[in-house]
Structure 1
Amino acid sequence: MAFCFFCSCFCLFPTFVKNLQSLDNSASNRNDPYASLRYKEFNYYLVIRFAFVFALAMQFAIVEWKVYALSGDPFSLGLIGLAEVIPAVLLAPFAGHLVDKREKRDMLLKCVVAYLAISTGLFLLTWDKAVEGISTHHVLLMIYVLVFFGGVVRSFVSPSNFSLMSLLVPRELYANASTWSSSAWQIGGVLGPALGGFCIYWFGVHWSMLLVVIIFLAPLYSLIQIKPKPVYYTPKGETFFEGLTSGMRFVWKTKVVLGAMALDMFAVLFGGAVAMLPAFATDVLHVGSLGYGLLRSAPAVGALITMFILAHKPLVNKPGLKLLAAIFGFGLCIIVFGLSTSFYLSMAALLISGALDGISVIIRQTILQLKTPDDMRGRVASVSSMFVGSSNELGAFESGFMARQIGLVSSVVFGGCVTLGVVVTTYIISPAMRKLDLKP
């Protein structure tokens, strides 16, 4: 059922693109909520964005469930995040530097092939016949190794995606394009973990992972439909080391960008409860794999609602204050989730946290698109992935470590409280964030 649903959507997409082409391409008014969707290649980009996140979110939901089933230890869930974040952080400067020098579509094609190989490996590791005679310890170790290689690939995917989007729509549509791009990301984030949980319930872990392998084939068609794009980066006598670190220097000098990245990083680092959901679903809420799928998708459902609202009502007035308020509310939701013993209250807390997090995502992406020069997009996006993207995995490790030290519930509540403290501190010390303006 899940596979048929995905294939139907993907097969109907070319017709959807043709219909969009029949619309007036001159409708690039920033007040038009569908302005960026008038551009054919941007729609293919949305499919790529969706398919990547859908497959990876589903894959991680399945891997997390499998790892917890094998180990029964919340700390083992934290190690999944640690295994991915190490290469993602270490390789980020090099990946951004390389992406700026190379054609973006070609980079993404290579990343798709790499993800296919990794997912195939995870498919084999979840097959009882393939791992027969191998100890549980070694199976877990091999899963962590493949997750590690996934982190290597991700270090290239993030800057490639970020750089490609800016080449598909005019500058005045960056905010609108960021909203739709984030929507595609959130739709994948909704369907991926939800179908992951449902497929585990219906088919088991092994066949669910096979579906992930098949889904990774989807971006290939869309990438072929996008024409190669120009490369703007031309080294001007800078050394290799200067090229690697120029993105970091730019972020450090641009205080609004630095503030947005740091705020989101600490909020996600200490306020992330998603990595502990297998433990909450099993040991606290007692809802099994089906409930786990619903819990896993709740934040993305909330964020998706926010994305569609903001596509029609952009954040124009005082976006910095709205960003701070949204992350403060996010921290409160995490505290409620940690204390809840009701499945429905936990669902509601995660749903609202996702809606508030959606505001943060759109504002941060718009800041990056508007403030970053074309020839530095890959390197700045890599720095962003170090700050924000990797904080999800570091947050997973932090949650797993704290769960072992002070208990599962206490670790999540503690993280939510730290998030509140980070927001208050940022409000006090960052006037640039309070006065943020997103006009291009």
Structure 2
Amino acid sequence: MPPTPASSTPSASDPDSVFRDPGFRMFWCARLCTTIGYQILTVAVGWQMYDLTGDPLMLGLVGLVQFLPSVVLLLMSGHVADRFDRRQIVRICQLTEAAIALGMAAASLAGWVRHEHIFVFVALLGATRAFETPTLQALLPSVVTPRQLPRAVALSSSATQTAIIVGPALGGFAYVAGPGVVYGIGALLFLAAATLITLLKLRQRPQRLTAPVSISTLFAGFAYIRSRPVLLGAISLDLFAVLLGGATALLPIYARDILHTGPWGLGLLRSSPAIGALATAIWLARHPLERKVGRVMFGAVALFGLATICFGLSTLLPLSMLALVVLGASDMISVVVRSTLVQLDTPDDMRGRVGAVNSVFIGASNQLGEFESGVTAAWLGPVGAVLLGGIGTLVVVAVWMRLFPALANRNRLHDSPGAT
């Protein structure tokens, strides 16, 4: 596909140029809709599961059941994203998610939902997102120019964080009308996202994988990341830090038993990290990190651990929300650095497979982190689980700075000789 004429191409040095691009705006809105849909389903599933069981371990199992399909489908999802039309893959996934949400709505409205049914719905959703997430990430570099990519990553992350603010609050308040209503709203949002992806125009033609399927091509994502210490360090840092420090699965317990609030309070707690993350993403879109990006990333993850400890000790809703705001802001710095490194240091025909590995690492840190939090809370109580996770995050930062000096000493996002 020929490049856009210079007269109509926004300047990459203009902070607002990326968002003025019609193709990127459509991509941004599609990501916003699909993430809001997922977030409101997360609120409904968490509250409904805790209503049905009253067991923190069940909340942890929800994360595990959602994560396992991404592991099973890892090699297939990345390979599919690199070989076939990425827009078509994302569209099919979003339509499937709409159908899953409608099934959850019908089951809830009919009144026959038990915790076993929720596990089935969550497993199906996890399998679908195993394909959607890496494909959507790999699609972004085809929507903007290479020079615009760092800002586009930050702005794309702002769509996610906007959705995480709006979604949980919307889900929490809508839950007053019942979980079936929440699931129905989610289905409409997935349909809207699929429509936007259908209309999306690409600026650059993706480079598709043409080599025949083999063990080498299937495992190429793992091999590539392993051969790049900066990528391996950045991805694994997020894995272990959030795996230990994440307290998302315990928010229903904190809302009800420690902060003594209801579904609306749970929605505010879930939205709080995204408030800090959104503000940080917007700032980074206008003021990209220029120097010492490795040190900045490690500092941000350490702040994430400290904010986790503060949240664990808090018994006041405003203080808990403030701690989560700081937690979200620090996590966004890490997310933008890691995501930009993955995109810039990876050839286009490998972005699906590398993105699939990255998505599993992210899923492990989030879904497995929820499982770890649920299990630890069952042993130590919710406060003990969160405090242990925050301290563990600080230990990970110290260890990783010694294990991955190339990441700690990375100066600029574009410094890698292998960047494309």
TM-score exceeds 0.5: yes
Q: Deviations over 1:112-158 (max 9, x none)?
A: 1110111012112322x341xxxx7xx11111011001111111111
Alignment of 1:52-67 (within 5 A): 52-67=34-49
- Give 1:411 shift: 0.7
Residues 1:41 and 2:15 aligned together: no
Gaps of 5+ in 2: none
Tell me the distance in 1 between the aligned counterparts of 2:209 and 2:249.
Answer: 41
Which residue is equivalent to 2:348?
374
* Matched residue, 1:220: 194
Residue aligning to 2:141: 166
> 1:183 is aligned with what amino acid?
S
Determine the C-alpha separation between the residues in 1 that align with 2:181 and 2:106: 10
TM-score (structure 2 length as normaliser): 0.94
Residue 48 of structure 1 deviates from its aligned partner by: 1.1
Q: Does 1:184 find its partner at 2:167?
A: no
Distance 1:270 1:130, change over 3 A: same
| 1:24 CA displacement | 6.3
1:123 corresponds to 2:105: yes
Aligned mates of 1:410, 1:124 — CA distance in 2: 38
Are 2:271 and 1:297 equivalent residues in the alignment? yes
Q: Which residue of 1 aligns with 2:84?
A: 102
Provide TM-score, normalisation by structure 1.
0.90
Confirm or deny that 1:388 pairs with 2:371. no
Contact between 2:206 and 2:348, CA under 8 Å: does it hold in 1? no
Question: Which residue pairs with 2:122 in the alignment?
Answer: 147
**Over aligned residue pairs, what C-alpha RMSD do you find?**
1.7
SS at the partner of 1:426?
helix
* % same residue: 38
Q: 2-side partners of 1:233 and 1:313: how far apart? A: 33
Say which SS state the counterpart of residue 126 (structure 1) adopts: helix
Aligned residues: 409
Residues 1:171 and 1:125: Cα distance change in structure 2 (over 3 Å): same
Aligned partners of 2:164, 2:380: CA distance in 1, in Å? 30
1:25 aligns with 2:8: yes
Give, in angstroms, the shift of residue 77 of structure 1: 0.5
Question: Residue 329 of structure 1 corresponds to which residue in structure 2?
Answer: 303
- After TM superposition, give the deviation of residue 168 of structure 1 in Å: 0.9
Structure 1 unaligned blocks of 5 or more: 1-20
Aligned to 1:253: 227
Displacement of 1:241 in angstroms is 1.6
The residue type equivalent to 1:333 in the other structure is A
| Cα displacement (A) at 1:382 | 0.1
Q: Give CA deviations for 1:318-345 in whole Å, capped at 9, x if unaligned.
A: 0110100001000011111111111111
Following superposition, the deviation at residue 28 of structure 1 comes to 2.4
1:11-22 alignment, distance < 5 Å: none
Q: CA deviation at 1:309?
A: 1.1
- One-letter amino acid of the counterpart of residue 127, structure 2: V
Residues 386-409 of structure 1: CA deviation (Å, up to 9, x unaligned): 111332000000000111111111
1:25·1:39 contact (CA, 8 Å) conserved in 2?
no
- The correspondence for 2:172, drawn from 191, 197, 208, is 197
- The alignment partner of 1:216 has SS state of helix
